[in-house]
Amino acid sequence: MNIAVLKEGKLSERRVALTPDVVKSLTKAGFKCGIESDAGHASGFYDGAYEAAGGIIFPDRAALLKDSDVLLKVNAPTPEEALLMRDGSALISFLYAYTVPELVDICLSKNISAFAMDAVPRISRAQKMDALSSQANLGGYKAVLLGANALGKIFPLMMTAAGTITPARVLIFGAGVAGLQAVATAKRLGAVVEVTDVRPETKEQVESLGGRFLEVQAEGVKTEGGYAREVSAEYLQKQKELITKHIADADLVITTALVIGKKAPLLVTEEMVASMKPGSVIVDMAVESGGNCALSEFNQTVVRHGVTIIGESNLPAMVPVNASELYAKNISTLLLHLATKDGFKWEMDEEVTKGSLITHQGELVHQFTREILAKTV
């Protein structure tokens, strides 16, 4: 079975789908790994390391793709890349298929079987395949460091002969993987941390890390697979009222809230930003999905009402070595679950296969993606 790994072309992307160590493991398992030249360069993995691990370097991506059985990527391929793929081959990457209808159409027309890393079900036996969690973990860590770097004060309590410095106050929206890692990182740096989340079951996790959970007394949240699927307007209004009291005191605000299949909810209004102290910082981790802050700008750092607002869309790519190492383990574990060196198993009723397979044999087989795309037609 021939594996292809391309150099990522997305703006500011520095990750790579496979590392040399994982290429070595797959080669031992009987797979042939073709790597586009310089695919791992931005992550610190050079062509020579891939060759030493048993990989074959291809300077021409068209030549690499024409004989490949499966393409492994971090981000969804561009339409141009997908058109180079062999008819009937397979794709594994982050897809968010409901956001790329043109790519879905190409996969259907070329009978490409597309598996989405973002659709791998959140079950215990699929934890090693969970790339959303591995990358969000790193993103939450990096968000705190970016915020701390932009903030004009230190995080911890410090007692000196010249006086006592009070600890920084950090407010985090969302207690998913990214938010919880942000809590842990901010606490390690000495900050006072408060957290709000639409899922009341996250309270215990927040408090176990030393954070204070701000609980909204309202209903109207639908969750599925650990993610918020729908949040009512009434709930968001009550959350806004609660947060308004706390955001004015915050030195750093980190927002991580996402609703799968929809635009990110607006949680920090311009009025809230204006109420914050001059020199405060907001890191909007949801900026790629529309942003949780009304004033954040995609891949830009701006100052509004004296508040620095960081809209970095790809935080895991800012730690590309670790991000690539973890992602390579995630995607290779999924591949080894789905296939052997001789080809895919096509166990269509198996939970991981059924959950992550988007297109197959010219059909859109993923129900959730089908429902979302039907609403956009």
Q: Which residues are catalytic?
A: 122, 127, 130, 133, 227
**CB-based contacts of 313, cutoff 8 Å, min separation 6:** 12, 287, 288, 298, 299
SS3 108: helix
Tokens, residue 227: 């993610």
**Phi and psi based region of residue 320 (left: phi greater than 0; alpha: psi -120 to 50; beta: remaining):** alpha
DSSP state of 8: P
Residue among 145, 170, 167, 157 nearest 280 (CA): 170
- Listed in sequence order, the residues at least 6 apart from 58 whose beta carbon sits closer than 8 Å to its beta carbon are 34, 35, 36, 37, 64
At residue 160, the 3 state secondary structure works out as strand
Which residues in 86-165 belong to E strands, given as ranges?
90-93, 113-116, 158-160, 163-165
Write 205-212 long-range contacts (CB < 8 A, 24+).
205/175, 205/180, 206/175, 206/180, 209/180, 209/183, 209/184, 210/183, 211/172, 211/183, 211/187
Residue 246, amino acid:
H
